[in-house]
Structure 1
Amino acid sequence: MAVVSTVEEQHKAIDRAYLRPARLLPNRRSAGHGGEALADAFELLLAVVIAEKPKKELALTIGMAMYEGDPAVVKAVLAHTPLPIRLLVPVIGRRRYASYVSMGRPGRRAWAP
């Protein structure tokens, strides 16, 4: 049960870090300002996600975010990354998540990118 409580705490930390960019993004889109605060919020979210996941699972995490998350948020996060990362991360992340889901994990449905 220790694993379950650890995972629950990780999810809570990520949820808390996600709330700020989720609140700031609509204002950025409509008013065109607040970019610095939004960038800071995304940096915090990324730091929390990275801290909560082993590095070998980052591609899986990114793929999961791309599958489950809002495409506009994923695009906004990637917009602030260097070009090679912007080009490679979506491909690697999708493939890694598709591979993970198709492994027949209990309670998971198959997904093809």
Structure 2
Amino acid sequence: MSLPLSSKSGAIVLLIASLAGLAIALYAYFTPLTGVTGTLGALVAIVACFVLAVMALLLMQVKTRGASLTLRGLILLGLAGTFFVAMLLHQWWIGVAMVLGLIGLIVDMVRPARHARLTHT
């Protein structure tokens, strides 16, 4: 049985934030005069945002509690690391996207518990 869209809203916010960070990082990497054009740091931000987007998609699909907790822990580390890279690169908008991703992760952690309580009472 598939979960309703409202229980996936946190993962959707995380996915959108990751894709926004990816777009900003790609812009910074390829556009001349951004200060990080062609740098390894911008490339790391691109890869990290892509991996976060993939993990957000996986988060929507996992069924077991253990896999969900492990994935959430990895996503949290990814968000923190990408935020740190963004601050070192002075790419503030990537940092904003990672904060929005953190909000999505928090929503995802709260929503399933609320959904489970409503269906079992």
TM class by smaller structure: 0.3 to 0.5
Structure showing greater relative contact order (alpha-carbon pairs closer than 8 Å, 6 or more residues apart): 2
TM-score (norm 1): 0.41
TM-score (norm 2): 0.39
